């Protein structure tokens, strides 16, 4: 792999602070058993506000796999998954987490989960095994089956709740983003599902669910999310004060960390730093010459590397589907007085579960708003939910927006699929096309 001598990326200072908060969250989860807390393993949508209100500790499967990958500690779990029989073409989030379940089952007779084998210690080895599972997937059959598999690996004794969430294909004639019969019906359906989940949580905890607490939590999420969106919008400025990689770095916070004043303070800090940069003319990339849109689920092994790589070519990656069309991106829908409706609607808005029409409109809007010059598609090898629409989106970008596009291959949590040389060549070609286009106009 090529080495980058000079780091021209200028990441937000708050990213470092954010990393500490995430570390603290996981450390706290690892001691859940000692504190007598129940633990839920959940996959898919951000169900954590419900768990927080119910007083349960939570482990988001994708987040745990992403964390291991980001720390380059995914190997032992993936090996365990492979030995159990999961081939490497299977979603690497699920493979990694299923590997954790295999290790838990083999070594975790005690209370603490994945412990025992010395060589597994590095694998965030204190993840507590679950008291129950909740699966919250929409459309992605892999995501749904992943918990069915964990359930089997752990001996079919851990209760499992599957939340049914409709994929927003847009079948009805009036279907559209946040409007139409399908949106309304789906919202009501999911509210109903959430009520059933709450009954399940009550049965698991033996306590009545605290709706007031949920309202309070949603209030924090709403405020944090507004700050996040405002800070993102400030990046329409040229040059951009922060980049896509900064927004990737704070996904964990908005997506699964406990909601409280600390969350608001963190996003206030992020926004303040962006404002301060704007005031002082400080940009997210030393010498911004290109503004790119990134379409793809994140390659967690390579976050820092990619940030430097793009900056090295003077390309500021400004926004993307993963960061800008996910994670409480419509805070106005949250009503702390009526929290379930806002939760339901946000689950329906996950960009993994939208038909092409909605995805196309959102991409076109972001490219216009942020003054994008070209699009880079990360074909994340083992996540078909995310790659399904990329070729159609590339056609729209080229035909409708006149934007050059390129693809590179990688993966969410398996480093083996990333080829640096390919990205290098494709990125260079993309930037050349932008140059040529500029020369013509």
Residues that bind other proteins (CB under 8 A): 84-87, 89-91, 94, 135, 139-142, 144-149, 151-152, 156, 160, 162, 164, 166-167, 169, 171, 189, 196, 355-356, 379, 381-382, 384-385, 387-392
Site for ligand SF4 in 145-174 (CB under 6 A): 146
Within the chain, what is the greatest distance between any pair of CA atoms?
A: 69
Our CB check for other proteins shows the closer of 158 and 217 to be 158
Per-position b or e across 390-399, b if 16+ CB within 10 A of its CB: beebbebbee
What's the rounded Cα separation, in Å, for the pair 319 and 323?
A: 7
Partner in contact with 305, chosen from ligand SF4, other proteins, none, beta carbon below 5 to 8 Å by kind: none
Partner in contact with 151, chosen from other proteins, ligand SF4, none, beta carbon below 5 to 8 Å by kind: other proteins
DSSP assignment string, 200-246: HHHHHHTS---HHHHHHHHHHHHHHHHHHHHHHHGGGSSS-SS-HHH
Per-position b or e across 252-266, b if 16+ CB within 10 A of its CB: bbbbbbbbeeebbeb
347: left (phi over 0), alpha (psi -120 to 50) or beta: alpha
Partner in contact with 125, chosen from ligand SF4, other proteins, none, beta carbon below 5 to 8 Å by kind: none
Alpha-carbon distances, residue 232 vs 204, 367, 375 (angstroms): 39, 14, 18
The region of 140-148, 254-262, 306-314, 319-327 touching ligand SF4 under the rule CB under 6 A is 140-148
Our CB check for other proteins shows the closer of 161 and 293 to be 161
Partner in contact with 166, chosen from other proteins, ligand SF4, none, beta carbon below 5 to 8 Å by kind: other proteins
On whether the CB atoms of residues 133 and 161 are closer than 8 A, the answer is yes
Minimum distance between the CB of residue 320 and ligand SF4, rounded to whole angstroms? 16
94 is a site residue for ligand SF4 (CB under 6 A)? yes
Which one of residues 50, 53, 80, 140 is an interface residue with ligand SF4 (CB under 6 A)?
140
403 is a site residue for ligand SF4 (CB under 6 A)? no
359 is a site residue for ligand SF4 (CB under 6 A)? no
Which one of residues 274, 412, 423, 430 is an interface residue with ligand SF4 (CB under 6 A)?
412
Which one of residues 93, 132, 310, 408 is an interface residue with ligand SF4 (CB under 6 A)?
93
Q: What is the 3-state secondary structure (H, E, C) of 74-99?
A: CHHHHHHHHHHCCCCCCCHHHHHHHH
Q: 259: which DSSP letter?
A: P
Our CB check for ligand SF4 shows the closer of 146 and 370 to be 146
- Smallest CA-to-CA distance from 39 within 114, 101, 131 is with 131
CA angle in degrees (0–180, nearest 5) for 210-261-22: 95
68 is a site residue for ligand SF4 (CB under 6 A)? no
Our CB check for ligand SF4 shows the closer of 38 and 138 to be 138
Binding site for ligand SF4 (CB under 6 A): 62, 91, 93-94, 140, 142-143, 146, 352, 383, 385-386, 412
């Amino acid at each position: 792999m090529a080495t980058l001598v000079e780091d021209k990326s200028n990441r937000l200072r708050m990213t470092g602070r954010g990393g500490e908060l995430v570390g603290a969250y996981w450390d706290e989860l690892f001691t859940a058993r000692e504190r007598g807390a129940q633990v839920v393993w959940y996959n898919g949508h951000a169900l954590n506000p419900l768990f927080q209100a119910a007083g349960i500790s939570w482990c988001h499967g994708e987040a745990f796999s992403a964390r291991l990958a980001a720390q380059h500690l995914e190997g032992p779990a993936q090996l365990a998954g492979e030995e159990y029989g999961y081939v490497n073409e299977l979603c690497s989030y699920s493979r990694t987490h299923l590997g954790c379940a295999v290790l838990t089952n083999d070594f975790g007779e005690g209370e603490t989960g994945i412990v025992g084998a010395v060589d597994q210690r590095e694998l965030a080895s204190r993840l507590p095994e679950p008291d129950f599972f909740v699966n919250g997937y929409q459309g992605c059959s892999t995501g749904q089956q992943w918990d069915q598999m964990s359930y089997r690996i752990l001996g079919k004794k851990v209760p499992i709740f599957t939340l049914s969430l409709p994929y927003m294909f847009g079948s009805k004639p009036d279907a559209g983003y946040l409007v139409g019969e399908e949106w309304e019906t789906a919202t009501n359906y999911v509210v109903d599902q959430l009520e059933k989940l709450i009954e399940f949580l009550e049965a698991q905890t033996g306590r009545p669910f605290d709706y007031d607490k949920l309202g309070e939590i949603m209030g924090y999420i709403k405020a944090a999310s507004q700050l996040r969106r405002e800070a993102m919008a400030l990046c329409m400025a040229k040059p951009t004060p922060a980049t896509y990689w900064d927004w990737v770095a704070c996904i964990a916070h908005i997506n699964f960390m406990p909601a409280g004043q600390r969350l608001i303070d963190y996003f206030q800090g992020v926004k303040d730093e962006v404002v301060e940069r704007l005031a002082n003319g400080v940009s997210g990339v030393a010498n911004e010459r290109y503004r790119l849109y990134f379409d793809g689920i994140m390659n967690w092994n390579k976050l820092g590397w990619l940030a430097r790589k793009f900056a090295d070519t003077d390309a500021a990656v400004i926004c993307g589907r993963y960061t800008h069309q996910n994670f409480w991106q419509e805070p106005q829908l949250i009503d702390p007085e009526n929290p379930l409706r806002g939760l339901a609607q946000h689950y329906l808005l996950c960009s993994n579960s939208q038909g092409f029409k909605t995805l196309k409109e959102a991409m076109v809007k972001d490219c216009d708003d942020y003054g994008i010059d070209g699009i880079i598609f990360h074909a994340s090898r083992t996540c078909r939910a995310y790659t399904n629409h990329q070729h159609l989106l590339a056609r729209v970008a080229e035909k409708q927006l006149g934007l050059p596009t390129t693809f590179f291959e990688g993966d969410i949590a398996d480093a083996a699929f990333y080829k640096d040389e390919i990205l290098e060549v494709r990125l260079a070609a993309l930037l050349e096309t932008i140059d040529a286009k500029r020369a013509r106009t």
